Amino acid sequence: MSRAAKIIYHVARVVLGLTFLYAGLIKSEDVTTFAGQVANYKILPYSWNFVVAASVPYVEMIAGFLLLINRRVRPAALVCIGMLVVFMILLGSVILRGLDIDCGCFKPGGQGTSAWVAMGRDAGLLLLSGLVYALRGRFH
């Protein structure tokens, strides 16, 4: 792998890792509020919003941490890809249904982020995840 590709790989890995670690940490601090944001998507039954709100931040944190320490990078990137695809499908459904809700991507109860902005951000992160997954494969 060329030096440039290595730099791109490490930058993408660290950015992705920090983003997921931060997103997970900040949401894990207030699960009830995050559950409210999940409920705003109007997809799950009442109590399952809490199951999702309790679980997703920890999956994000583990994936982000593994990316940061450069261990189990491809599985962690794959988890990120899977989560981002699900997030984007959900955001698409929000746009189609015309719901005006905060995406719940980062700080629960924070400033509202529209579905279109969140979709664009997730697309960028998906690109980074794919890049990390593919470039890591070229190391070994």
Contact footprint for another protein (CB under 8 A): 28, 30-33, 35-37, 39-40, 42, 45-47, 49-51, 53-63, 66, 72, 74-76, 78-79, 82, 108-110
Which C-beta is closer to another protein: that of 3 or that of 46?
A: 46
> In this complex, which beta carbon is closest to another protein, that of residue 2 or of residue 111?
111
For another protein, the closer of residues 4 and 100 by Cβ is 100
Q: How far is the CB of 98 from another protein (least distance, A)?
A: 15
CB of 65 to another protein, least distance (A): 10
> Distance between CA 69 and CA 13 in Å, rounded?
9
In angstroms, what is the minimal distance from the CB of 62 to another protein?
5
CA separation for the pair 122, 139 (Å, rounded): 26
Provide the residue count of the chain: 140
Q: Which is nearer to another protein, 11 or 86 (by Cβ)?
A: 86
Question: What is the per-residue burial (b if ≥16 Cβ within 10 Å, else e) of 84-121?
Answer: beebbebbeebeeeeeebbbbbbbbeeeebebeebbeb
Dihedral of the alpha carbons of 41, 42, 45, 48, in degrees to the nearest 10: 0
Nearest approach, Cβ of residue 3 and another protein (Å): 25
Q: Structure tokens of 27?
A: 């949401």
Q: Is the dihedral of CA 90, 110, 22, 13 positive or negative?
A: positive
